[in-house]
Amino acid sequence: MPKISGSLSHKNVVCPFCSLHCDDLEINVYDNKLSVKNNIPKSCASKFEQLNLPIYREMPATIKGKPCETKKAYQYSRQLIKESKETIFLNSSVDVNITREALSAASKVNGIIDHVNSSIFLKNISIYQRRGYMATSLTEIKNKSDTIIVFSNNLFKTYPRLMEKFLATNDSFSINPKNKKIYVIGKQISNKKDCGSKDKRITYIDFNNKNISELLTSFANKKNTTSISNKIFNKLLTSIENSKYLSILWATSEFYSYKECDEIIYNISAYVVSLNKTMRAACLSLAGNDGDVSFSQTLGWMSGFPSRIKFTGNFFEYDKDSHNASQLINLGNSDLVIYLNSLSEKKLILNKKNKNIVIGRPCTKYNIEPDIFIPCGIPGVDFKGHIFRTDNVVSLPLSSLRLSHNKSLQQVLREIIK
Amino acid sequence: MSTLCLKNGRVFDPINKIFNKKKDIYIEDGKITEVSNGKISETIDCNNKIVMPGAIDLHTHIGGGKVNIARLMLQEFHNNSDNDYDLTADFVPSTLKTGLQYIKMGYTSCFEPAVLPINARQSHAEMADTPFIDKGGYALLGNDDFLLDLISRGAHQSEINDYVAFILKATQCIGIKVVNPGGINAFKFNQRALNVDENSVRYKITPRKIVRVLARAVYELGVPHPLHVHCSNLGVPGNFKSTIETIKAAEGLPVHITHIQFHSYGNNGDRNFSSASAEITEYINKIPNLTCDVGQVLFGQTATMSGDSMKQHANHSHAHPDKWLCMDIECEAGCGVVPFKYTDQSFVNALQWAIGLETFLLTEDPDKIFLTTDHPNGAPFTSYPHLIKLLMDKTFRDNLLDQMSVDISKHTILKDIKREYTLSEIATMTRSAPAKILGLKNKGSLSKDADADITVYDSSIKDIEEMFANPTHVIKDGIVVVKDGEIKKYTWGKTQVVKPEYDTAIEKKLKKYFDKYHTIALPNYKISNDEMSEVIGSDINEVECIRKRIS
Ligand SMILES: [Zn+2]
């Protein structure tokens, strides 16, 4: 690997690791090693800096857990793909350009393409597939929203800079930011801890978010039937009624395990729609951190569908049930799953019923050894790329900060599918 | 060098005043050439064929956030079985199908009219995934807080010009569009309507002022395409008056009024809805520097999508099927997607159909009016051949009018209009005129050195709709990409951009604004030429400004 001597400083670097994609990072590169210069949460900085460790830099391809030459891994991958009757391309963290390549790969082998978070983001899309929806985006919230309601159990852990950079900001173009009222509703202890902000504009309200529908009904009827004290409830209701621009934020992933999940997100949306008869209000449902938006958007324009497509000869078909990768895998209906994991550190859950190929960033975690692991570069660190932010409408350029030890995920796909 | 010859065709090349003349066309290296010195490597016999430059659609929603929202919202319509690869609906086609359908109809350049600067990366990525055609976008301004603030503080025109030029460069666009000037912004502050001379509550400026300032900026910068205007009061009965006021707001500078059909409504009669096409076309005919496209309505299911979140929100109760989405976007713009089904059982829809046709037929000069359905707002672009037949065949359109479920005969003068468009006029309005108004010197023409984008039709096909729907050959950059309806080769067009010069001092000011108020950094807002080709996937072609900047 050639060495870069001297130091290079990159400004306005876009962080690829969480879907807020903060782009104010300053990163120095010396001897191909990264150091983050800003004062940002440790958990954010370490996502870059840990990549300097030898274990990340020298991770080899493996076959059944044993290190091998990359060429061998390609060869064996081609063999498994050739032998497969039903190949699934399961995206677990991707950008726009990886999705484009994955789609092209799936079309060449008549495969199925899905994303690990499909079940969650399909719920968000289903709101406007069934009824009206009023949406907003982060810059609007920062500059216009005087009342912000965040339904959260662990959101500030998932999006560490959400409060600091987007909600409790010191500058707003259209309102006096001092008068912002921010209500964080959910598990108070974890919200206070993860958010860490003692900002007076923030009110933390302890609430079981399974009961959001009841809270919304109470707002609509102006009569509190919830566990929230009347004092706090009235404060909240007054803020809503006096608001010039109300924003309601949530992440559907936090409600996914509730049986009330669909009802909750439909009710939030319907409540906001009804408020807009006389005032302004809008929703922002935060997306997952695994390139969910880049995947569903790219698939959307290339196929008309957000996920779960199967290619069959001349054409493709969408079926959110029968092309659901996790179901197919659990039922043993697929013989080969190719995981595409360019960004995430979450553990991949592989199933030994089928063969598994993981094309992933170095130190991708899994529950069991895949048949083949091929390391790839990280878009935004090793390669240029294009990624969508959580609010669906902003997409950002990812840069290449250092010389890559590995090929890009797209290059690997092109190697194994010819 | 190999030369392709189109032999003995009847050529329509309006720029060179060639109409229906037998002529051979030679192509070398992707360009049109005069009589070739080289060996003719391939000859296409064009006896009984009509040869025209490739068609240009200057207003079609083919890529960007709201198009994609519509694709996902309306996936139950993706079951169109007459295509063997891609089942997406004609009114919300995938990028691949968009390219395929356009090229099979002989269209070789298409322009997305609503590129939100913050969403430009997505728009370009979608267009980059659209095969065959050349493309370009118009950047939306006039509802962004930065510009409205500049105007309200009385900024000098030259500063506004700098900002407009910066936006064109940053977004890799070819023109500037304003949608419901100031209205989308006002909706964010809970205003539900904004007339041309009404002040917005927040900025205390009028749509008239915004149009004037932007039309001037585009003119003074030398951008070929005039300010592209979606007027105030979309779809509101009686809106023809505000349309005329918007035209006047440009104060004689070049201006393009888009989907003018949706802005040509009177409020007379027992239904309080009437045609004002006579009033509007009188203006089009008399005012120089004014062009428009129609936004023709045709019956059937479609999706309306617009940056005009104010009006789309107001109209959401008409959604069919009953679902919709409106969005406020990044202190810059908005969008609204409302599915809609036009039916001839509706008096309003039937009259919209007639108003569009009246507008086409009453506008004298085919250089001033362009064939659009505002895809997909009035109808999908795949209905262009049908629309051409309506314009060229009086009997055909009169019969359709007679067969309509509702009787609108007392409300439209359509039957009194004898005019039938000629092939020459169709060639003008779909080829040379849009090329001219976009500043595309190498398009819409069969002159020497023009890009060899050419469409060949079979003139022995008697039905004009069928003829226009099925060109025998489509040539893109000198390559035969369609032959007898079959794709011969996949090619990828370029993105047409314009880059007027500006004083970079505006970037310092913008940087301050971005650092303080925006949620991304200015350098990441800009799309570089390298990013276009390496990451987004489309090479650019820079179109020249028409003159040096004035101020
Ligand atoms: Zn339009």
- With tokens 């051949």, the residue in question is B385
Q: What is the pLDDT of residue A277?
A: 97
Distance B115 CA to ligand 1 centre (A): 11
Q: How does residue A284 score in pLDDT terms, banded at 50, 70 and 90?
A: very high
Indicate where chain B has its CATH 2.30.40.10 domain(s): 3-53+450-487
**Are residues B121 and A11, on separate chains, in Cβ contact within 8 Å?**
no
CA-to-CA separations, A388 to A282, B137, B399, in angstroms, rounded: 20, 20, 50
| SS3 state at B40 | strand
CA-to-CA separations, B461 to A289, B50, B175, in angstroms, rounded: 56, 11, 38
Region B75-86 average pLDDT? 73
- Looking at B404-479, list the stretches that DSSP marks H as alpha helix, in order from N- to C-terminal side: 423-427, 433-438, 464-469
Find, among B5, B22, B70, B29, the residue nearest to B336 by Cα: B70
Distance CA B184, CA B189 (A): 9
Find, among A101, A90, A11, A16, the residue nearest to A381 by Cα: A16
Spell out where B434-511 has E strands.
454-458, 473-476, 479-483, 486-487, 495-498
**ipTM surpasses 0.95:** yes
Region B190-195 average pLDDT? 97
Region A274-278 average pLDDT? 97
Distance CA B301, CA B514 (A): 41
**Residues in chain B closer than 8 A to A297 (CB atoms):** 68, 122
**Residues in chain A closer than 8 A to B516 (CB atoms):** 171
Nearest chain A alpha carbon to B333: A140
Q: How many C-beta atoms lie closer than 10 Å to residue A15's C-beta? A: 25
pLDDT at A67 over 80: yes
pLDDT tens sequence across B379-397: 999 999 999 999 999 999 9
- How does the average pLDDT of chain B come out, rounded? 96
Q: Taking a C-beta distance cutoff of 8 angstroms, is the pair B34, B463 a contact? A: no
**Are residues B202 and A174, on separate chains, in Cβ contact within 8 Å?**
yes
Distance B371 CA to ligand 1 centre (A): 13
**Are residues A304 and B93, on separate chains, in Cβ contact within 8 Å?**
yes
- pTM assigned to the model: 0.97
Q: What is the pLDDT of residue A1?
A: 41
**Are residues B94 and A301, on separate chains, in Cβ contact within 8 Å?**
yes
Find, among A103, A174, A163, the residue nearest to A140 by Cα: A174
Distance CA A154, CA A18 (A): 14
Taking the CA atoms of chain B, what radius of gyration do you get in angstroms?
22
**B321: preceding bond cis by omega (within 30 degrees):** yes
- How does the average pLDDT of chain A come out, rounded? 95
Find, among B181, B242, B176, the residue nearest to B209 by Cα: B181
Distance CA B166, CA B169 (A): 5
Of A125, A137, A165, the CB nearest to B330: A137
Q: How does residue A323 score in pLDDT terms, banded at 50, 70 and 90?
A: very high
**CA atoms within 13 Å, Cβ hemisphere of A415:** 19
**Residues in chain B closer than 8 A to A14 (CB atoms):** 524
Distance A254 CA to ligand 1 centre (A): 38
- With tokens 């108070």, the residue in question is A188
Distance B27 CA to ligand 1 centre (A): 35
pLDDT tens sequence across B7-51: 999 999 999 999 999 999 999 999 999 876 668 889 999 999 999
Q: Taking a C-beta distance cutoff of 8 angstroms, is the pair A262, A58 a contact? A: no
Contacts for B366 with CB less than 8 Å, ≥ 6 apart: B421, B425, B426, B428, B429, B433
- When scoring B95, B520, B528, B534 by the number of chain A Cβ atoms within 10 A, the one with the most, hence best to mutate, is B520
Indicate where chain A has its CATH 3.40.50.1220 domain(s): 59-117+290-379+406-416
**Residues in chain A closer than 8 A to B78 (CB atoms):** 304-305, 318
Distance CA B484, CA B482 (A): 7
Amino acid in the structure at residue A158: T
Distance B306 CA to ligand 1 centre (A): 6
Distance CA A44, CA B36 (A): 64
Interior/surface letters B54-87, b for 16+ CB within 10 angstroms, e for the rest: bbbbbbbbbbbbbbbbbbbbbbebbeeeeeeebb
pLDDT at A2 over 50: no
Tell me the shortest Cα–Cα distance from B202 to chain A, in angstroms: 9
- With tokens 């974890």, the residue in question is A190
**CA atoms within 13 Å, Cβ hemisphere of A68:** 17
User: Which homologous superfamily is A122-286 in?
Assistant: Dimethylsulfoxide Reductase, domain 2 (3.40.228.10)
Find, among A154, A162, A134, A113, the residue nearest to A245 by Cα: A134
Q: Which CATH class is domain B3-53+450-487?
A: mainly beta
pLDDT tens sequence across B132-176: 999 999 999 999 999 999 999 999 999 999 999 999 999 999 999
Q: What is the pLDDT of residue A7?
A: 84
pLDDT at A4 over 70: no
| SS3 state at A94 | coil
Contacts for A132 with CB less than 8 Å, ≥ 6 apart: A269, A273, B316, B319, B323, B324, B325, B326
The tokens describing A413, both together, are 């796909």
Q: What is the DSSP letter of B377?
A: T
Of B67, B85, B118, the CB nearest to A393: B118
CA-to-CA separations, A119 to A124, A269, A306, B68, B70, in angstroms, rounded: 9, 19, 11, 19, 20
Distance CA B461, CA B483 (A): 16
Region A327-333 average pLDDT? 94
The tokens describing A281, both together, are 């209000």
The tokens describing B401, both together, are 């009018």
CB–CB contacts below 8 A, A to B: 182
pLDDT tens sequence across A111-159: 999 999 999 999 999 999 999 999 999 999 999 999 999 999 999 999 9
Q: What is the DSSP letter of A210?
A: G
CA angle (B125 as vertex; B119, B130 as ends), nearest 5: 130
Q: How many C-beta atoms lie closer than 10 Å to residue A347's C-beta? A: 10
How big is chain B, counted in residues?
551
Helix B65-73 vs helix B120-128: crossing angle, to nearest 10: 70
**Are residues A135 and B313, on separate chains, in Cβ contact within 8 Å?**
no
- With tokens 């039938």, the residue in question is B420
The tokens describing B511, both together, are 């940087």
pLDDT at A231 over 50: yes
> Can you name the residues that pair with B28 across neighbouring β-strands?
B3, B31
**CA atoms within 13 Å, Cβ hemisphere of B101:** 26
Share of chain A above pLDDT 70, in %: 99
CATH of region A59-117+290-379+406-416: 3.40.50.1220
Distance A202 CA to ligand 1 centre (A): 42
The tokens describing B281, both together, are 């076309």
- When scoring B62, B72, B335 by the number of chain A Cβ atoms within 10 A, the one with the most, hence best to mutate, is B72
Q: Taking a C-beta distance cutoff of 8 angstroms, is the pair A401, A13 a contact? A: yes
